[in-house]
Amino acid sequence: MRRALALAVSAAALTLFAAAAAPEEKELAAALPAAFARAADQYRLLTEQMKAGNGRHPKSFANGKLVTIPPEDWCSGFYPGSLWFLYEYTKDPFWKAEAEKATEIQEKVRHYNGNHDIGFMLMSSVGQALRLGAGTPQRKRRYEEILHDGAAALATRYTDKMKLIRSWGKIGDERSYLVIVDNMMNLELLEWDAKRGGAARSAEIAKNHADMTDGHHFRADGSAFHVLNYNQKTPGKILEYRSGQGACASGAWSRGHSWAIYGFTMMHRETKNPRYLERAIRAADYAINHPNMPADGIPYWDYHAANIPDEERDSSAGAIMASALLELSALAPAAKAAAYRAFAVRQLRALISDGYFAKRGEIGGFLLKHGVGSKPQFIQGGKGGEVDVPLNYADYYLLEALLRFKALTEQPEAASAARVDARHVPERMDDFVWENDFCGMRAYGPKVSEPRPAGEGLVSSGFDVFNKAVPDVMMAETLIRGVKEKISYHQNNGRGFDNYKVSTGRGCGGVGRMTEDGWRYARNWRTQRVLEKSGQKAVFELGYEAYTIRGTVTAGAPFTRFDVLPRTGASGKPAAGRDLMGPGLDVSADRRHDGTLKIDLKRGFVANFEPFGVDGDGNGNVMTAILLDPACGPAHLASDETGCLHLLQRGNVFTYYAGAAWSGAGRFTTPDEWFAYVKDFADSLAQ
């Protein structure tokens, strides 16, 4: 499970990585004005040629001639969309006027349901017009009506039985039910409709289609199939896998895979469903780490085509992927986010180089050379095959990616989304809480130990776990709101909740000491302070009777580092006699923490995959783990009287890690996935 190790990058390594990437970002930022100036020059040539366009749009340039299309073509929205992007960057009224003229043509397809592509046709044109200011209130209302009509038309291709939108073929065709991965891109139209007064059913359709695609449209290695033919007699079963526009049914067509990264990133943005984020991450990792990915990041038209001499790259697949990765970089865990952003920068620097970016007057006014539409269709002599030509959607996603990069680089660092927090929450009876993009944890303070009603009468050095479905900081806010508004933070609100029970146990990482006379535990912490805090790292100290725990929590991995130090005046020498000390992990049946255990004393960890939360079934699985730093020497395992397993070492100065994850966040859903992650993390500590 090598993808797990990448998540465990240290904060220091991440800082070095970001510093190394800075020059490339600066170079790209410096090149933006020239790139948009060249793009404006090229598109002025296109607008001149389209003055007598007769309700058509430019799509490509082949054999020395401009290729145009009617609004019913799936690519019809991209030319108007590119004009809107030029207006967004330049603020030149010329581009707004041209964009409005081109967008007006799209009204003709507001009820089109001949295939699934109306989302492409309308969101890239009418959708951009609304985003950037459609002009008069009357025009704005008409554009909104067009999108609502388009969503209704798309919904006619959906069936409740299949829980899928039919991509190709006639509605009602009983012989085939074809679904292509590109269809993920059209779900944005349905999400827009549901959020802006349209049919509530639109969101349900989008979710069902995304869930089915997530469940069936990907291979075990994370790559996407292009075309699936579903069995209508047995919904959810596949009749056949087709190669579609890829080299073969078992291969990965690069543009389709880029659609997958983009589509699931967009669906996570719209729904906050962590399952979609995980799918986008897996798809992105497949592409970035593929052995056939060229050094400049612009893929071959099929990921397996690199093994065949003289095969073409596809600039459109690279542009779509770059735009998707930039959005994904704002949603993914920090270590992943840095890698995605750096890879997108690499792709964009290549795409605006002379190797791909047209010089003034080249290729009929389009921007990107070396696009591949459908090579299999081209080989068969089919219409619209398009190999090594400019493509209007390549231009669209290049401009979108450049604008996304500009927006990211212009955000002040302080305004970037915080992924880490540590603070005292006196409102929640003296809890001290800390969290990162994976999970939250808390330790109990003095007031919690007071008898009810002032406190809970809880005396424990244990650490509690707070499940999170979103990466941003939210735990303290949820606890405070729960207290003030009497809202239970034990109930899943879609963002995060607590269904983990500590009681008098060690929970996930609380410290215990095994002596000759039995087990000894600290009471609740006495002092707390935050030593350092930023959006990506926090350092804090909790003072107990005989020792202080210094916690370091960073973004990008579920584990917090804990350094245990003796209190001032106490000895740092090994404890006398047979005393052993270390973190505990609750695996007791009484508190419903019994689950699937993995114990690896050689690597120094105990991991648990719990089947149910304490609040009953249906809340998903809680995964916990504790790890001793290898520098502490050999780990000893012992179970205390409360049902907690302890990783023990001889001494009162030591370092360990503790953390958790929740299956509802979508990152880990099986014991094997969690245990493989913990193993990789332990191996990274040893290195």
Catalytic residues: 117, 182
- Report the phi/psi class of residue 617: left, alpha or beta, with left for phi > 0 and alpha for psi in -120 to 50: beta
Q: Which residues contact residue 104 at a Cβ distance below 8 angstroms, ignoring those fewer than 6 apart?
A: none
Contact 281, 299 (CB under 8 A): no
Q: Which two tokens stand for residue 396?
A: 């669209």
**Can you spell out the DSSP letters for 71-110?**
TTSTTTTHHHHHHHHHHHHH--HHHHHHHHHHHHGGGGGT
Question: How many whole angstroms separate alpha carbon 687 and alpha carbon 684?
Answer: 5
Cα dist. 94→55, 107, 131, 216, 348 in Å? 19, 21, 18, 46, 26
The whole-angstrom separation of Cα 249 and Cα 236 is 19
Pairing of strands 654-662, 644-648: unpaired
What letter would DSSP give residue 354?
T
Angle at 391 between CA 389 and CA 394, to 5 degrees: 120
Question: What is the side-by-side strand order in the sheet with 547-554?
Answer: 527-533, 537-543, 547-554, 559-566, 654-662, 622-628, 605-610, 596-600
* Spatial CA neighbour of 316 closest among 250, 264, 386, 242: 386
Tokens coding 449: 């130990």
292-297 long-range contacts, Cβ below 8 Å, gap at least 24? 296/346, 296/347, 296/350, 297/321, 297/322, 297/343, 297/346, 297/347, 297/350
Instruction: State the CB neighbour count (10 A cutoff) for residue 472.
Output: 15
- Given a contact cutoff of 8 angstroms between Cβ atoms, the answer to whether 585 and 566 are in contact is no
